[in-house]
Amino acid sequence: MRDCIVVGAGAAGMSAALTLARARRTVLVIDAGKQSNLAAPAIGGLLGHDGRPPAEFYAAGRAELMSYPSVELCVGELAHGECDDDGTFAVTVADGRREEARSMVLAPGVDYRYPRLPGMDERWGKSVFHCPFCHGWEVRNRRMGVLAGGAVGVHGALNLRAWSDRITLLTNGTELTDRQREQLAVGGVGLDERMISGFEGPGGELRAAVFVDGGELSIGALLVKSTLRQRSSLAHDLGASLTEPDEMLSVEAIKVDPMCRTGVPGLYAAGDAATSVPPSMAAAMASGYLAGAAAAVQLTAGY
């Protein structure tokens, strides 16, 4: 029987595991190796690690964790999780391995869902991105597009002006209201409502948006409205509640209190999977620390 099982070895999961390890708790970290930002060439906006390749960051984090004898890392997909009547958490890994613990921290990350137009996947995390605070600096001053409709698109396009003064909102066939058109015009943002057939450019770079009518728009970067969804039913299966996504914040998050408690005794959640605001590695690490500390206190108090 371990003290805690941590699901996910991203910034939040490793932060939680480190906090628990330093509190002299036995921890099993289960990770499938699917961190969302691995597609990006560099981390943006994380103090002390700005510009560092994500894979390098995660490797360093795993090395730090492995220096603590009470921590074990299991690489694999989590097949099933449950909470027994006595409050014990049990998980089964895809290879059949079963583990139990007195507490659990959920930090599995989330799936980013965006329009799968031709030419986007190979540029995702590079010249095509979802968060200007994470990627905007690297593409600053380029001619940029924003792929979204309605109020979300208008908000995203106007916000992106901090990184470039050449912004065009691409609605991909969705029409805007007169008020929304006025907002764009006042903000100096261009508008193109044509249907898009795909995006082109050399390698991971973006050169142009190509429209169904054969026309093109020259852009060097693209901000895409994405929806964030849970990667599995694990949180629900364990009794945790999820938020309802809305138009502006399309995030399906595990509901937690300020100390990352889900309301299920002994169950905590941290990182992108447990935030209803735009995610970041800095926020993930902070929430992982809180979840780990809260779990450690609960284990010590025995409640």
CA 186 to chain centre: 32
CA distance 20 to 13: 11
What are the tens digits of pLDDT across the range 47-63? 999 999 999 999 999 99
Written as one letter, the residue type at 40 is A
Q: Are strands 167-170 and 190-192 parallel, antiparallel or unpaired?
A: parallel
Contact 21, 27 (CB under 8 A): yes
What are the tens digits of pLDDT across the range 101-113? 999 999 999 999 9
CA distance 162 to 157: 10
Residues with Cβ within 8 Å of residue 54, at least 6 apart in sequence:
35, 37, 38, 40, 42, 43
Q: Which two tokens stand for residue 17?
A: 């595991």
On the 0-12 / 13-18 / 19+ scale of CB atoms within 10 A, 46 is buried
pLDDT score of 251 = 84
What are the tens digits of pLDDT across the range 207-226? 999 999 999 999 999 999 99
Question: Where do the domains of the chain lie, and which CATH numbers do they carry?
Answer: 4-112+227-301 (3.50.50.60), 115-224 (3.50.50.60)
Say whether 196 sits in a helix, a strand or coil: strand
Q: Which two tokens stand for residue 97?
A: 């391995």
Which has the closest alpha carbon to 36: 138, 115, 114?
Answer: 114
Q: Say what the pTM is.
A: 0.94
Q: Which two tokens stand for residue 136?
A: 């905007």
pLDDT score of 248 = 65
Residue segments in the chain with a per-residue pLDDT below the cut of 70: 247-249, 303
CA distance 152 to 130: 12
Q: Which two tokens stand for residue 239?
A: 């009794």
CA distance 257 to 50: 29
